[in-house]
A = this chain, B = another copy of it.
C-alpha cells in the first residue's frame, strides 16, 4: 500500500495544468454541442451566452454548421485556434477517442459529464484508467467522468448543465462549493440558493479519474476571489492536496464547512461502491477536521445553517452568549443547546441587571433573560433589553427567541422596529433570532442584520460554529512541526523480530528496558546475570507474533540456571510447534515492575498516511475504546494534549494516591514514534507497542513489547 501523490509534471516533463485554466479559460469548446438548451450538450452553451462569457465558444458537432447562433465545427481538431477547456457531452463509447483528440490538440482541461466508467464494472474501470493515463501523459486535466462539471460565476464560465444559475454580479460573501457527487453537489447548490447563499464557484469531481476534490479545495483556498468553502466528500483517494488546501484555508482565514458521509460502516460501504474511492477511517477524518478547524456538518441542513451564519461576516468576540426570551421554556431549551455547542452563559453584571429591572421589575435577569409576557403589552421591551445587553459589551453574541410573536399582527411591527434599532446600533455583534412568521417579516429581520433560524437548536449550532472558526483563525498558524531527519529509511519488506523492532524504535527515543539478544542457554544465563534479576526471556522471531501460545515467553526468572533452562526448553519445544519460523535468538530483558500500562501505535491510513494512536492499556483500549489519534508528525504540545484527552488520564496523573507517572517520558515516546512513522511513511505498515509502561515521574517509559510491520514491496 502506497500513499499516492500527484506529480506536478508528467513523466515526459510537461507541466501539469493548474485548475485556473479550467475555471478561467480564454476559450471553451463543447463536444456533443446541441441546439436544444434543455439538453446537456446545449445548456452549457446557453449559460455561457446568457452570462456574457467573454472568451471564444466553439460548439463541436459533425452535423451542424451553427449552434445557438455560434459557428460550429465538426471536430475539435478543426477549431482554428488553441482551446483551453473542453466539455464532453457524448455517449460513453465516444468519450475516449475525443479526449485523445483534445490531448493531441493541446487542450488544457476537459470536463466529462458522461457516466458508465469506474462505477460500472471492470470494463468501465479499464476505460477510466485510460482517461487517467491520458491525463498523466499529456498534463491535460480531466474533471469527471460521471460529474456535473464546474462553473465560475464571476467569470461567466459555465461548464455544467445544472440549471441553478448564479448572477454574474455579487457583492456579498463569496462561497465556493466542491463536491465529489455531481447530483448531490447540485442539490446543495440549489438549497444554498433557496437560503439566499450565492455559490460563486462550483466544481464536482465525480469519479475523479484525474482532478480530485482535495485539489478543488486547495484551489479555492488559494483563490483570492473565494471567501469560504462548502464541501461534500464521500471518500478521498489521496490527501496531499486536501491537507494543503485545509492549511491554506486556515492561514487565509477562510472557513470550510464540510459534509463527509460514510460515518457508519454501512454508509462507508455505500460510499465505496458509489465512487469506488478508498475510504480512510472516518475517525481519522475527524482528527484532520479538528486539526485544521474544519466544521464537519452531520446533515445538509446543518451544512447550510452554518454557511448561512458565515455569510453574514459577523464574528463573535468570545463564546459568551446572552439568551433573551419572553418564554421561560424557550430560554431553557436554548440554554441546553448553547452549552452543548461550547457556549457559555454568564449572568449579566449587577448594573446591567439593574437597567433591566428598571424596565420590568419582575424580569428574570440571569441568563437566560426573560422579559416576561409583558412583551405583549410593550412590544419594544425585547429591543430595549437587547440594547442594554449589547451596550454592556459583556457578550460575544446575543440570541433572542421570539417564535410566533414575530408574526402576531398586534405587535409584529413594533417588535421588529425596536429589535432592528438595537441590531443596527451594534452591527458587528452576531445577533441570532428564532422566529416563526411570514417570509416578509423574516426578510425584514435579516435586512436589519439578524441571523434568523426557526429552531433554537439550529441557531445555537451555527453560533457554536462561528465561535470555533473565530478561535481557529485567531490562533497562530502552527509552524511545520518537525524537520525530516537524516537517518536511513527502512526498506519495504523488511521484517522485524521483537529485538530488532525495539532496537530500531530506541534510535528514535522509544526506549526499552535493558535487554540482550542471545543464542544459547549459556549466553542467556550470563546476560540475565549482567542485566540483574528478575528477567523475562522471549523467543525472537519475525515469524512468531503470539509468543505466549507456543511457550515462547518465560517471566520472573530469578537465577542464571533458570535463565539457561528456559532457553533450553524453548530451543527444544518451539521448532516443533512452528516448524517454518526463523528463530533469531532469545531476548533476555529486565522485568519492569509497577507503572501504568499504555498502548502506543501507528498505522498507515490509506488516505492520510501514518496515524499515531495512544491509549491507556488493556481494558481501556479494548473494552472502552478510550484511544486518541493524530496525524504525524506529532509535536510535543500535541502529544501532551493526546495524553490528557483520554478518559483514563487520571491513572497517569496519580490516581488514588499513587505517584504521578513520567508524562514527559511518555511525550518523548509519542514524539519519537511519530518521527519514526513519518520518516518511514512510504514503507511502514504499522507499529504496536503494547504495553508501553510509564513509571513514576523521572523514571521513564519503556516498551515491553513491540511489533513493527512494513509493506510488501511493490515490484
Contact = CB atoms under 8 A, between A and B. Distances in A.
B266 A345 contact: yes
Nearest to A299: B457
Interface in A335-372: 335-340, 345, 362, 364, 366, 368, 370, 372
Contacts of A270: 328, 331-332, 335, 366, 368
Interface in A97-127: 115-116, 119-120
A339 B269 CA distance: 12
The 5 closest A-B pairs by CB, nearest first: A184-B329, A181-B329, A183-B327, A267-B336, A274-B328
Interface in A439-498: 454-458
A264 B583 CA distance: 58
Interface of A: 38, 115-116, 119-120, 179-181, 183-187, 190-191, 194, 232, 234, 259, 261-267, 270-271, 273-275, 298-301, 326-333, 335-340, 345, 362, 364, 366, 368, 370, 372-373, 403-404, 410, 436, 454-458, 619-620, 622-624, 626, 647-648, 650-651, 655
Given A190-B404, A299-B458, 4 more contacts: A183-B327, A264-B339, A274-B329, A619-B655
Given A373-B183, A455-B299, A336 B648 contact: no
Contacts of A274: 328-329, 331-332, 364, 370
Copies in the complex: 2
Contacts of A261: 329, 332-333, 336
B619 A336 contact: no
A298 B181 CA distance: 31
Indicate the member of A262, A335, A436 with the most B CB atoms within 10 Å. A335
A91 to B, nearest CB: 13
A232 B132 CA distance: 58
Contacts of A340: 263-264
B115 A372 contact: yes
A259 B337 CA distance: 13
A616 to B, nearest CB: 9
A443 to B, nearest CB: 18
A626 B623 CA distance: 11
A432 to B, nearest CB: 15
B403 A336 contact: no
Contacts of A328: 119, 181, 183-184, 270, 274-275
